[in-house]
Amino acid sequence: MGVRGEIFSNRVILPNRTYFFNVKENRMGDLYLNIVESKNRDNGGFDRQSVILFADDLQAFLGGFEESLKVLEKAVREKKHTGTTKREKENKTQDFSQRTQRNKDHKGGEKGKFRPKVKRESHEKPPDKNL
């Protein structure tokens, strides 16, 4: 048995997070799967979330997981036929916002501040009718 009861460990590295799949044994001899998600924080360090599944519960968990996976795969297929997803739409909106901001920055002014153009003309004040 390895460090802290580890029997097996595997990791999946993705662009914005890493998953760890650890098979462990506790002090009572019970086997369990520990799934850990780790992602970088903006200010440094990591956010970690953990799920523990005991060996006796894995079949029920896998049944629910497989059912959810089938629904997810069906939804993905339907999205491909209907067009863009919400995430794709949000990315397009963000891209447009970034281009608009770059154009504003290019024209001058402080970065990140929007200053609308003000039409400056001198106007005479209309006469007050109450006088």
Higher pLDDT, 2 or 72: 72
Stated pTM of the model = 0.56
Structure confidence by residue, pLDDT tens digits, 6-44 = 999 999 999 999 999 999 999 999 999 999 999 988 888
CA-to-CA separations, 59 to 5, 11, 55, 70, 126, in angstroms, rounded: 22, 22, 8, 17, 82
Six-digit token pair at 54? 């005991």
Q: At residue 78, does pLDDT exceed 80? A: yes
Chain-centroid distance of CA 40 in Å reads 12
Query: Do 41 and 30 contact (CB within 8 A), yes or no?
Result: no
From 97, 101, 99, 98, select the one nearest 109 (Cα to Cα).
101
Q: Would you tell me which CATH number, out of the four given (3.90.1150.10, 3.30.70.960, 3.10.450.700, 3.30.70.100), belongs to the domain 3-90?
A: 3.10.450.700
